[in-house]
């Protein structure tokens, strides 16, 4: 097997593990379990995973769990933040809150409270007196730009939105 073939094999194995992680976020995943799926020793697997995915296994799993919490709470605002976080393996609400805030730059309580910008009110930011809002005009002309959310934060501070709300607006715009 040449270098290219072995690299492709490593990528294939890591992709298999990533799919498994995403399908099993509600389970307690272990390094041993994931390394077995990849067919590597746990030490070799950890190095290969980071080399292929460009992030540590811990960061990958945590990021996917946080994104699942976010999408679940957007789709089901009737659910408790703590309950959803607990089901995804966050056993302490303080640790979850700190992790969420570090990732999204807003606390989960502020993000999902009843008077915060929710999924339903995101649509309000997509229209503006019957036409396109200034946010949508900017997104349309800069979609795909690397720092789009940072630009939106600096250009439209009067809306009082955070990273997560702007990401929700971009996601909804992409669905239109």
Contact 122, 111 (CB under 8 A): no
Dihedral (Cα; 41, 26, 111, 137), 10-degree rounding: 70
Contact 164, 106 (CB under 8 A): yes
Instruction: Using pLDDT thresholds of 50, 70 and 90, give the confidence band for residue 167.
Output: confident
Per-residue pLDDT tens over the stretch 92-134: 999 999 998 887 767 787 777 654 455 445 555 565 555 667 7
Q: Where are the domains of the chain?
A: 3-54, 60-112, 119-175
Contact 45, 31 (CB under 8 A): yes
The Cα 10–Cα 156 span in angstroms is 44
To the question of pTM greater than 0.75 for the whole model, the response is no
């Amino acid at each position: 097997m040449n270098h290219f073939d072995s690299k492709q094999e490593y990528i294939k194995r890591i992709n298999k593990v990533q799919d498994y992680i995403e399908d099993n976020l509600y389970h307690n995943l272990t390094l041993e379990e994931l390394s077995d799926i990849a067919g590597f020793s746990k030490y070799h697997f950890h190095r290969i995973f980071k080399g292929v995915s460009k992030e540590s296994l811990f960061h990958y799993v945590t990021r996917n769990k946080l994104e699942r919490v976010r999408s679940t709470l957007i789709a089901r605002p009737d659910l408790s933040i703590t309950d959803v976080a607990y089901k995804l393996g966050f056993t302490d609400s303080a640790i979850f809150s700190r992790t969420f805030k570090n990732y999204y730059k807003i606390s989960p309580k502020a993000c999902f409270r009843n008077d915060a910008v929710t999924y339903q009110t995101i649509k309000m930011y997509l229209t503006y007196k019957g036409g396109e809002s200034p946010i949508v005009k900017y997104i349309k002309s800069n979609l795909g730009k690397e720092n789009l959310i940072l630009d939106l934060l600096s250009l439209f501070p009067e809306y009082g939105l955070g990273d997560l709300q702007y990401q929700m607006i971009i996601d909804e715009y992409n669905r239109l």
